[in-house]
Structure 1
Amino acid sequence: MLQDKKVVIIGGSSGIGLETAKQVIAEGAKVIIASRSEGKLQNAIEQLGDKATAFTLDTTQERQVQSFFEKVGQFNHLVVSAAETSGGSFLQTDTAQARQLFENKFWGQYYAAKYGAPKILPHGSITLFSGVVAYKSMVGSSILGAVNAAISNLGQTLALELAPIRVNIVSPGIIDTPSRSKMPEKDRNQFYATVGNKLPVKRIGKTEDVAQSVLYLIQNSFVTGTVLHVEGGHILA
């Protein structure tokens, strides 16, 4: 179904985005990945091979995003998994930090959808990324939860406004990705074990789990306006 299709993955240089790129290529598609980090892009291209092309892109810069899609031209599917996230006490979080989180995650996806949608070919799709804290309130996640909820609402509304382009949202839970490598290994493993034991599935997520969900949303032409929860039952725990 993806044979010779053109898929743009913003955030495709590592973690969930890179794993999605691998699975999309395995289905026969050509992939364009974009990221801020030239080093990560180079490493990703070495893994993905000649079916992938890379662009350096800062999604917080609207004109950069607009220029990026002008260079890319027409394509079939857009996946926006790029985002830097953070948490913290509501009262102790600087307003500037809260605004930056919106810039990184909400506005980056907003710009991508705005400038990417006109380039999407018939029967194409957009997949945005929200997150579990939009649906399960947790101490220290008030701002990130608000950002994620905004993305989910944006995506569902765009499913109506941009139709027949399909727009869906993936809402991951705790996933083992390179973004958590900043934590000391012992602390990270303990965190994963603690969270995993609380979930019905008794483990945290893998990038493969989320990438498979993205592929489902890309390929199923009867799904739009859906928030797909990929969190091992976290919102139930």
Structure 2
Amino acid sequence: MFETLKNTRVLVIGGSSGIGLATATVAARVGASVTIASRSRDKLDAAVARIGGDARAAVLDTRGLQAVESFFSDEPVWDHVVVSAAQTPGGPVRGLAVADARTAMDSKFWGAYHVAHAAKIREAGSLTFVSGFLSVRPSATSVLQGAINAALEALARGLALELAPVRVNAVSPGLIETPLWSGLSEEKREAMFASAAQRLPSRRIGQPEDIANAVLFLATTPFATGSTVRVDGGGAIA
């Protein structure tokens, strides 16, 4: 599976943990030359050790256009670029500081936009964003996240036309067991996952590898562009 990634150059932004790390690990396992990027050198070093092979790391904050442009100007053309990085403080619109809302938009939407603006990707290569199912299943306590995810998916569709024949897609995860939830105690986290699983048609919580499979499916499917693939356990219809 994903054998066509062998000997390709794959960049995973946000590859130091969670979905990004799972994506980078699978790509490296099938023979891709993988680079992961994020803001934390310590997390990157630990992730590279886990990925193994010839994986390498680059410190990159996608919120800054100049930093993104500088990074890509120094790199050869990529075969596949994945953007999974985001720090998005959340809460009700009337309870979330506007400055925090702007930070969330800068991180998840504008970060992806900067990458799309600057990345050098070969013809028939791919650019894939990781969004989230709140784009189609709004939450009264996560309005901003839903709006950002919807904007990211719309960006992918438009870029699929602008950047063609580079293929641009999005993957929209549901509830995934990642370090995002590490702030909760183990007891509360397990209780939340168990409760959510019972409400989902899949009867389980997603794992980072579930999303990695969807990301790499899009990257290796030459007829896939302008698509958003939901991998949410049925969360959007439950």
The separation in 2 between residues aligned to 1:60 and 1:190, in whole angstroms, is 35
- Determine whether 1:133 maps to 2:137: no
Match of 2:164 in 1: 163
The separation in 1 between residues aligned to 2:66 and 2:51, in whole angstroms, is 28
Please say if residues 29 and 51 of structure 1, whose CA atoms lie closer than 8 Å, have aligned partners that are also in contact. no
Q: State the number of aligned residues.
A: 235
The separation in 1 between residues aligned to 2:156 and 2:32, in whole angstroms, is 24
User: Tell me, which stretches of 5 or more residues in structure 1 are unaligned?
Assistant: none
Please say if residues 88 and 105 of structure 2, whose CA atoms lie closer than 8 Å, have aligned partners that are also in contact. no
The 5-angstrom pairing of residues 70-219 of structure 1 reads 70-116=73-119, 119-219=120-220
Please say if residues 214 and 231 of structure 2, whose CA atoms lie closer than 8 Å, have aligned partners that are also in contact. yes
User: Tell me, which stretches of 5 or more residues in structure 2 are unaligned?
Assistant: none
After superposition, what is the alpha-carbon deviation per residue over 1:63-98, rounded to whole angstroms, capped at 9, x for unaligned? 111111112221100000011123211211111111
Give the one of 27, 43, 46 matched to 2:46.
Answer: 43
> What RMSD over aligned residues (CA atoms) do the two structures have, in Å?
0.9
Is the partner of 2:225 in helix, strand or coil? coil
Is the partner of 1:82 in helix, strand or coil? coil
- Determine whether 1:6 maps to 2:9: yes
Is the partner of 1:205 in helix, strand or coil? coil
Please say if residues 171 and 230 of structure 1, whose CA atoms lie closer than 8 Å, have aligned partners that are also in contact. yes
Q: 2:46 corresponds to which letter in structure 1?
A: N
Please say if residues 170 and 213 of structure 1, whose CA atoms lie closer than 8 Å, have aligned partners that are also in contact. yes
Match of 2:226 in 1: 225
TM-score, reference length from structure 2: 0.97
The separation in 1 between residues aligned to 2:209 and 2:111, in whole angstroms, is 23
Is the partner of 2:150 in helix, strand or coil? helix
Q: 1:86 corresponds to which letter in structure 2?
A: P
Q: Which runs of 4+ in 1 moved over 4 A?
A: none
Is the partner of 2:158 in helix, strand or coil? helix
How far the C-alpha of 1:216 sits from its partner, in A, is 0.3
After superposition, what is the alpha-carbon deviation per residue over 1:24-46, rounded to whole angstroms, capped at 9, x for unaligned? 01121101110101111000111
Is the partner of 2:148 in helix, strand or coil? helix
After superposition, what is the alpha-carbon deviation per residue over 1:203-223, rounded to whole angstroms, capped at 9, x for unaligned? 110001000101100000000
Please say if residues 19 and 209 of structure 2, whose CA atoms lie closer than 8 Å, have aligned partners that are also in contact. yes
Q: 1:42 corresponds to which letter in structure 2?
A: D
Q: 1:112 corresponds to which letter in structure 2?
A: V
Q: 1:231 corresponds to which letter in structure 2?
A: D
Please identify, of 201-210 and 84-93, the stretch whose mean Cα deviation from structure 2 is larger.
Answer: 84-93
Please say if residues 16 and 208 of structure 1, whose CA atoms lie closer than 8 Å, have aligned partners that are also in contact. yes
